[in-house]
Amino acid sequence: MRPRQAWRALTRRDLLLSSWPWRAMLYLISGVCVGAVVLVLFLAFLLTGAVMTLVLVGIPIVLAMGLGGVPVAALERARLRLVDHDPVVSPHREPDRPGLRAWVELRFKEQATWRELAYTGLLVTVLWPVELAIILYGLVVPVVMISTPLALVEGDQINVLKAWRVDTLPQALLVAALGVVALAVAAYPLTALAMAHAMLARLLLAPRDDESGERLAELTRSRTRLLEAFEAERRRIERDLHDGAQQRLVALTMTLGLARVTRAEETAELVGEAHEQAKLALAEIRDLIRGIHPRILTDRGLPAAVADVADRSPVPVEVSVECSERLPSAIESVAYFVVCEALANVARHSRATRATVEGRFRDDRLVVEIRDDGVGGADASAGTGLAGLADRVSVVDGRLMLSSPPGGPTLLRVEIPCAPIAHSR
């Protein structure tokens, strides 16, 4: 949280009438609950790991505690929205390879993981006990005082906080009024404490400048791989034109030339042969154009283009793409080629009997999921084109996630932030 923004709320004259005190109290109370639960879980894991270490089973449990700050930090970044309007993004990078091992190796190498573990240690040892004590004195005591008239109705006299003896209604009302004043006064230190906690959380859990440099370096490597892929695609198109359509057109030209100098009875046969060669050349050019950018995607949008790809797949594919509005052409193109490559991988490697393609546009985000019931075990480093897909998706600030355990099933999920366009192309 930025200091100027954080403390601006405390200088407001209408602080007590705003939502800030209530949000600050909710932030502190939820933090106490989270800290207590995390402390219990950490002690349980530590005790289990210490006991199981005798049979070597507990060693992975103890090592896994080093990653215990990752889920806690994710929860804390979500809780920050209670008192901080600026969202805190995750400082972690996506692994280059799929699988749990690649994820664990990357997390242990990242500085953010150890900062999150340090924050978790502060939360369970210092922050939540201190905040619990302050909440008890700053919130519970005024609430008990305010409820004094209600408690007096049930008895002849009460001892408020074991300090004041109240036996008449005027005394109870006076104590309740003092409780209201105490609660109003306590709103300021409680809000300040919540702001300080939020600033500490942002300091330890938000991305650092050096991590932004790592992201930039990874983005540069991704762009390099993408340029190499584009160059390979250019060479493929050149080769296909030279070996395919160009040879067909050369043969067509030679056939028509023979038709001009042959006898009349042989001309019809040569013209027919030339016609067949022209149709084959046209079909090859259409296939080549479809591989570059299909006309159906430009004219009818992503749902129709995905349905067309599914119809041409050798594996039966069920399609459900809910996207009533046109999206930017770059987004549609990326999503289309993700589906093409994924279905091609299903046909080549998965030994699946069926596949599904689901797409939906919700909350300015396009989500596409491709599932199959194949043997699983997909690996981005095995030359199946998944690394290239990840690079293509990263160009439009999207994310590609893969779940493909041995034995299947396989799920490829792509999320791309975007906004619909108002006009049709």
Predicted confidence band of residue 247 (pLDDT cuts 50, 70, 90): low
Sorted by where each begins, the domain ranges of the chain are: 3-207, 212-292, 295-417
pLDDT of residue 424: 41
Q: Which residue has the tokens 């070597």?
A: 56
Q: Selecting from 3.90.550.10, 3.30.565.10, 3.30.300.90, 3.40.50.150, what CATH number does the domain 295-417 have?
A: 3.30.565.10
Residue 406 is encoded by which pair of tokens?
Answer: 């041995």
- pLDDT averaged over every residue in the chain: 77
Contacts of 285 (CB under 8 A, 6+ apart): 245
Q: How far apart are the first and last CA of the chain?
A: 42
- Higher-pLDDT residue of 259 and 360 is 360
Q: Are strands 399-403 and 410-417 parallel, antiparallel or unpaired?
A: antiparallel
Question: DSSP assignment of 337-381, as one string?
Answer: HHHHHHHHHIIIII--S-EEEEEEEETTEEEEEEEE-S-----GG
Please write the tens of the pLDDT for every residue from 96-129: 666 778 888 888 888 888 889 899 999 999 998 9
Q: How many residues does the chain have?
A: 425
pLDDT of residue 425: 40
β-sheet bridge partners, residue 366? 361, 416
Predicted confidence band of residue 169 (pLDDT cuts 50, 70, 90): confident
